[in-house]
Amino acid sequence: MKTATSAQFIQLQPQLIDAVAEPVDEGEVLRYLGYPIGRTPNARIQEMLRLWIAEAQQRSRPQAAFVILPVLEKGNNRIRAQFAGGEVEFKGAIGQFLSVSELLIVFVATAGPNVETLASELMASGEELAAMIVNAVGAERAEAAEAAVIQRVHDQLRTIDYAPTLPYSPGYCGMAITEQQKLFQVFEGRTAGVTLTPSCLMQPIKSVSGLIGLAPAEVVEADISPCDRCEHRNCNMRR
Ligand code: SF4
């Protein structure tokens, strides 16, 4: 049941985050590049990282849009929420990821288009490692914009001690990529510059979208991570 206090945090109209203050996290860039945790790149790679992280950070424009919707109904495989234009029902492994949710953050976050343009130019000129670093920075910047959404909402909900669940995105862990169409529908066009192709891929490519539940912190903490119940032992997205 949604409490009276949580209801005041419902935001049906899209909220925009148009900048991310946090600098690029080099450890995350290395993770996207596939470096094992704790392994230090050699001096040549470190110099390339320094150069191309700085350039990609300067070209990136991390942004995000989000809404906070009231959950109307949920089951093992679906969650229904209200948005400004009516009702939306997402399908997927809801029972694993969002079963405790009283409110639902729907977000889209992006690194902006210029990072992947730079990566393409580098790739075309044969600078493959530089292109990989720039692409990794793009992924990190999109995730940083998503983190900024969670931080903004966390700050807003501090007074009622609500916490976010893990994010759950179309195309992952049992949610069809076509759920993107519903996800984008709730923004009514205000998606921080991100668009969907007919095959439901996001443009710019370095973008992330998804659902995050909100519930009392003690309920979220007591909930078992969906990854702990999952049989995909070699999944590199395990959290
Ligand atoms: S282990 Fe991987 S596939 Fe399984 S729930 Fe976690 S992220 Fe999804």
Handedness of CA 98, 185, 140, 58 (dihedral sign): negative
- Separation of 48 CA from ligand 1 center, angstroms? 32
Residue 4 has pLDDT above 50, yes or no: no
Residue 3: band (very low, low, confident or very high) from pLDDT cuts 50, 70, 90: low
- Separation of 49 CA from ligand 1 center, angstroms? 30
pTM of the model: 0.92
pLDDT in tens, 34-93: 988 788 899 999 999 999 999 999 999 999 999 999 999 999 999 999 999 999 999 999
Partners of 164 in the beta sheet? 214
For 4-229, the fitting CATH number among 1.10.760.10, 3.40.109.40, 3.40.718.10, 3.90.70.10 is 3.40.109.40
- The per-residue pLDDT for 207 is 98
Residue 132 has pLDDT above 80, yes or no: yes
Answer whether the bond into residue 164 is a cis peptide, omega within 30°.
Answer: no
pLDDT in tens, 33-45: 998 878 889 999 9
Token duo for residue 128: 């493959």
Give the closest residue to 119 by CA, choosing from 103, 105, 139, 95.
139
> Which of 96, 211, 231, 237 has the most ligand 1 atoms within 8 A of CB, as the residue to mutate?
237
- The per-residue pLDDT for 62 is 98
> Which of 96, 98, 172, 229 has the most ligand 1 atoms within 8 A of CB, as the residue to mutate?
172
- Domain spans of the chain, in order of start: 4-229
